[in-house]
Amino acid sequence: MVLTESMEKVYLPADEQDTISYEAASSLLKELWGEIPQTAISPGYNTNQILNYNYKHWHELFNARQLVCFALLSSEIRKIKKPNCALCLLVYSQALWNSTIYSVRFKGEGTGAVRPIFAHHILKPELAPLEANVWGTPKSSGSFLTLFESRILRALEYKTRPFEFRVTETNGKTTKSKNL
């Protein structure tokens, strides 16, 4: 499923350009390999499930294109001064959860919403995994951009202009509004 320039969601088969693009990402990954953590998956109650599928390192849960995106993104985040760097790292870690090809799938196909790796108590490969867009689109969830906007920007706005919600009922209809 891809998003067209007119913001329409359509299903297209992979084509030659997709293959060329992925091969370019694979080549770039070789240059960025030092940016990718090589952390082994430790045995544990739930992680044994992943180990049983012969995954040994956390980076194996992502494809080359995703690893390139996360390597570039983490490199830029490290240039940001505190405390904003910490805020970006929080969003970065959530975007990782939402981007693994190991078990990320649609919440409802066509909605743009995704279920992250830890949405269930079991860690098994998804039969129809989703390669979520790491950067984000106007109609996606769980990406760095959408999480940054929905979590960080909203939190910073609340910090400067705190509010409470006011709930009112008129003619049996309940409405909620910000009480600044």
pLDDT tens for 21-61 read: 999 999 999 999 999 999 999 999 888 998 999 999 999 98
Residue 112 has pLDDT above 60, yes or no: no
- Give the whole-angstrom CA distance, residue 72 versus residue 36: 10
| Residue 42: predicted pLDDT | 96
- Give the whole-angstrom CA distance, residue 108 versus residue 66: 22
Residue 32 or 100, more confident: 32
Q: Percentage of the chain with pLDDT > 90?
A: 31
> Which amino acid is located at 120 in the chain?
H
According to DSSP, the residues that pair with 3 across neighbouring strands are 9
Residue 110 has pLDDT above 60, yes or no: no
The token duo for 125 is 């490969």
Q: How many domains does the chain have?
A: 1
Instruction: Tell me the pLDDT of the chain averaged across its residues.
Output: 85
pTM beyond 0.75, yes or no = yes
Alpha helices in the chain (DSSP H): 16-32, 47-52, 64-77, 84-97, 144-147, 154-160
| Residue 113: predicted pLDDT | 63
- Give the whole-angstrom CA distance, residue 125 versus residue 117: 9
Range of the domain at 156: 2-179
pLDDT tens digits for range 113-156: 666 666 667 777 877 777 777 887 777 777 888 888 888 888 88
3: number of Cβ within 10 Å = 15
Which residues, including other chains, have CB under 8 Å from residue 93's CB and lie 6 or more apart? Answer: none
Among 23-32, 94-103, 106-115, whose mean pLDDT is lowest? 106-115
